[in-house]
Chains A and B, each alone.
Chain A
Amino acid sequence: MSDSDGILPGARGGKDKSEAEPSSLGSVLGSDPFEALSDPDPIDEWLDAAERFVEGGADSGAAQESASSGASASVRDFHRGRRGVDHRRGPTLSEVELPPPTGVVERLLDEDARRRVEALAEALPKDGTYDHFGLSAGALRSAFPLLYALYRLYFRVRSEGHEHIPAQGPAVMVANHGGLLPFDGAMAVVDVFLHTDPPRLARAIVDRWAGTLPFVNVFFARVGQVIGTHENFTALLDGGKLVLMFPEGMDGIRKPISQRYRLQHFHVGFIEHALRARAPIVPVAILGSDDQAPILYDIKPLARWLGLPVAPITPTFPWFGPLGLMPYPVSYRIVYGEPLPLHERFGPDAAEDTALVRALSSKVWRAVQRLIDRNH
């Protein structure tokens, strides 16, 4: 497997993959660069070969088991049996008894949204207690009306493909990132929450830098966002959580306007974790985020000097001061793609194979980019 001859150029490591990935795969300019590709997908051909190698080469019981048995059942059995985790399912909307609204803010929510908040709160540790990552039902209840207002009134989010969001069990949603401030993550979390029954809270993986920011670190933790460490990722998936991941990381939100809706290089750790936890990967395209704060220029030396990930010049920043960082009221569109059941083809042992992991990451990269291009 480590034989490099069979590895696609786009699946190989390297610092700057932002341009390398599409070009190495023979992409052409146009709205959907992948339509021009021959069928079958060259990465799929390579993956077929890799799959045969994994199945034939080792007595990897897990890999063979995953190939032979029903996927969703085996995922649950795997988690229950090996890790002793039972995926707790919250009450469905019809099972929730809705108390009358108490505060002014709560009255701003429609009945469905309030019912969803109640359903989620019932599945979370009770008020005043916290989960392992600092999530608090009380804080979530307080913050939701604001996020809901942003979702409905400010960004006017439309979405489709909700049937692809797993109703239960671990899953990794992989989305594009953009727009300087991570409102795309917040809107995706709210959208998933409003379109699943029982409502699921996607746990977004955030950069470590967010953990160093006063107040922000506390707010993110209380509303369910988690810093992207390996242990955190593993714990979330082992606990059957739905994880929202932006594998571009900071490169996504600081990309210049010329790279708008072009995916940057993907970090590959999410593939390893998805394979180990046997979680499907759901590609997600978030359209609108790249228009909310177009970066004309990033003053990198200044950013380094200030210890910031980006020192942007946008049409409104720094000219209007901190207010210039406010996202423009663009309309968001979120599209969920068909899940990629990579865990059904490759067992947890495949996570140790660096070349395979890079190839799978490339495949996910293509799936997300294709989703963006088809809907943009």
Chain B
Amino acid sequence: MPNVLVTHSDEPLGRRVVKLLWHDGRIGRIFALGTGAAPRAFDAFRAGTPPRLAYARIDLAKHRPMTDFFHSTQLREFEIDTLVHIPQHGVASEGPPLAGKVSARAAEARLVLQHALGARSIRSLVAVGSAFVYRLTPGNANHLSESSEIDLDPEASPGLRPWIDCDMLFHGEIGNPRLRVALLRLPTVVASGGYVYLHPGLAGRAGLRLRPLGFDPLCAVISDKDAARAVQAAVHTRAAGAFNLAGPEAIPLSVLGRWTRRPFVPVPGVLMRAAGASVGRFLQDPLRGALDGPHLRYGFTLDTSRARRELGFRPQYRIGLARAGDGGLHLETAHT
């Protein structure tokens, strides 16, 4: 029965994973980490002696707190053998760069991997990544498999670069004989109520967005519930490697933006590039001014046959609009 450590469990996707694992009778004890206060939803889970769930606040990007935590008595008592790393995906989560251009997300991934490799008890690492790491080529949409080319362009969009760095870090350990690494590449994650994660063009608060005129890329999507189920499946199997995951639907960016209250305004590509360059000059950082990117032009869908075959994962939730009590249409995920 695996004992699981879950990172960033105070964020929406992490919370859902912890809840799912807690209700899973085949999971032993759970140690949840987060940067903020423990979510209220965990209060009930933390009752009992000894509690089946523990929560700790820790900055995963800092070396000293991480070292202290991984050598702590508290963690040793939980006899953790599986680590689930869910990178920070919240609003404006990048923060200041730590060293040079290394983002907080990549720094966290590096430390998590380092400690997972160093801790003798940990045999399994399940890392959540993004499917936006693939190099997007012209088309609307192209079908991508796990062997599709990763975008190694050093000038990739700043919203994507940390995900690519994280992917490469974990991918490098996939063949490790001591530590099983399962890397889950998720497309845009949507949740009931119009919440959306992991899409670089939809990150941040609700409101207007720009997209190049004449392009409306098809977006692969997955519900947050299915994403959590995929993590659960990866915890239970012994399969290693990278796995594409996606729900049954693919939705054009314009529709997805409308559904998640982030409607897109089409703007001629030339104007977008000019505006991006001006912003970059104003901020004295050309990358931060990059408004345009291949993810706003070229769509993709994912070949999920490997996850179906090796993880036994099949999506169970559909995404669509449903009429809520207030009479308005809201994005909902529904069990099929």
Contacts and interface: CB of A to CB of B under 8 A. Distances in A.
B148 interface: yes
Contacts of A211: 137-140, 298
A15 interface: no
B143 A208 contact: no
A217 B214 CA distance: 8
Contact of B139 (A129, A131, A214, A229): A229
B250 A232 contact: no
B140 A134 contact: yes
Interface string A220-233: 11000011010110
A212 B305 CA distance: 28
B192 interface: no
B269 to A, nearest CB: 7
B145 interface: yes
Nearest to B141: A134
Interface string A183-218: 000000000000000000000000011111111111
Contacts of A220: 140
B250 A218 contact: no
B251 interface: yes
B316 interface: no
Interface residues of A, number: 27
B252 interface: yes
Given A133-B141, A227-B138, A229-B142, A214 B214 contact: yes
A132 B250 CA distance: 7
A43 B206 CA distance: 63
A212 B138 contact: yes
A144 interface: no
Given A211-B298, A214-B213, A232 B143 contact: yes
Interface size class of B (residues with CB under 8 A): 20 to 34
Contacts of B251: 130
Given A129-B249, A215-B214, A218-B214, A231 B141 contact: no
B143 A132 contact: yes
B34 interface: no
A299 to B, nearest CB: 24
A78 to B, nearest CB: 15
B139 A231 contact: no
Nearest to A83: B305
B187 interface: no
Interface of A: 83-84, 129-134, 208-218, 220-221, 226-227, 229, 231-232, 235
Given A132-B250, A217-B297, 8 more contacts: A130-B218, A132-B143, A133-B301, A221-B299, A227-B138, A229-B137, A231-B145, A231-B303
